[in-house]
Structures are given as C-alpha cells and as structure tokens.
Amino acid sequence: MKNSEEIWKDIPGYEGKYQASNMGRIKSLGKYVRTARGQRYVKEKILKQHIRDVGGHLGVSLGKDTHNIGVHRAVAMAFLGLPENEDLYVLHCNGDPTDNRPENLRYGTQKENILDVYYQGKAWRKLTIDDVEAIRFGIYCGYSNQELATLYDVNPTTIKDIKNWRRYEWLK
C-alpha cells in the first residue's frame, strides 16, 4: 500500500532550516532574512533538484555557501538516522538513483554498492564483472596491458591495477 501523505523531517545538521520528505523532496523552511530595509520573511519552498553526477544521483544546494548534498543522503539521514560510521554509502535498493524514498534507501559499504550495480545488470564505471574476469584471463594468457586496454577501451593503468589487485580486488 502506498503512503500518499507526504511526511517531512529535519535533516540532521540542518535542523530548523531544511527538511526531507518521504517522497524524496527537500525544502527550505520559512525564515526571516536581513535586507537593507530591515527584515523580511522568506516562505518555505521546495528546492529544485539537479543531476549531481554521472551516475544520475540528484542533488540540492543548501545555504548561501551552496553546499551541494545528495538528495539520497539527506533523505536517508532524516528517515534512517545517521550512518553507523562515515565509510557507509547510501544505496538504492531498486537501482534507480532518482528514487529517493526512504523505503528504497539503505546504508552499505562501497563493495555492496558496487555489487548492487552488477546484480542489477549494469556496469560499474566502464567494466562489467565479465570484462574484469576476461581481462584477468587475458593477463594469464600473456596479453600486454596495452593490448587489453585497447580491447576494452580503458587506460593501460586500469589493466595494470586489475593485474596487481588494486582495482576490483573484491572480485575474486
């Protein structure tokens, strides 16, 4: 059953200034601001979201400093609480980076985030799991870093890092 009522909660660190909703929206709360003539009241408003990164995650700017925060992170902090530690990422359960409802978000590690992408049939950055396994097999068969880099349209350094287990080390 879908919840049609929009619920707003303060975003930790921005209490009384900004709130996130269970529908994945962010708003600024009403406030008084100084002007040359004294003060005036600025009404609350829903903030415009923008695409923040190549992954399609949405972001908003909070405050004069235009602090850019991911909508998924703001909603997760407001509805799921702060993460246990700073190393945790906000993951989208359904793989849609624009679906920022709390029930679609969870905290997890970078490895879990990458594996989620693969389980959803997408490539993490440029290479798929099959690509990485084929590159490792190509290395075993004696292909050069340059040959493999040309074949997979990546930098030879990427091949070298895969060979030396500095990239995709989690993929055994």
pLDDT, tens digit, for every residue of 54-101? 778 899 998 776 678 999 999 999 999 999 998 999 999 988 899 999
pLDDT of residue 1: 47
pLDDT of residue 125: 66
Which has more pLDDT, 111 or 74? 74
Reference 9, options 72, 59, 75; nearest CA is: 75
Question: To 10 degrees, what angle do helices 145-152 and 156-163 make?
Answer: 120
- For residue 109, the tally of other CB atoms under 10 A from its CB is 14
**What is the Cα–Cα distance from 52 to 81, expressed in whole angstroms?**
22
For residue 67, the one-letter residue type is H
Put simply, whether the predicted model's pTM sits higher than 0.75 gets the answer no
Reference 69, options 88, 45, 49; nearest CA is: 49
**What is the Cα–Cα distance from 161 to 127, expressed in whole angstroms?**
13
Within 8 A by CB and 6+ apart from 154, the residues are: 126, 127
Which has more pLDDT, 53 or 144? 144
**What is the Cα–Cα distance from 94 to 128, expressed in whole angstroms?**
19
Q: Categorize the per-residue pLDDT at 3 as very low, low, confident or very high, splitting at 50, 70 and 90.
A: low
Q: What percent of the chain has pLDDT over 90?
A: 63
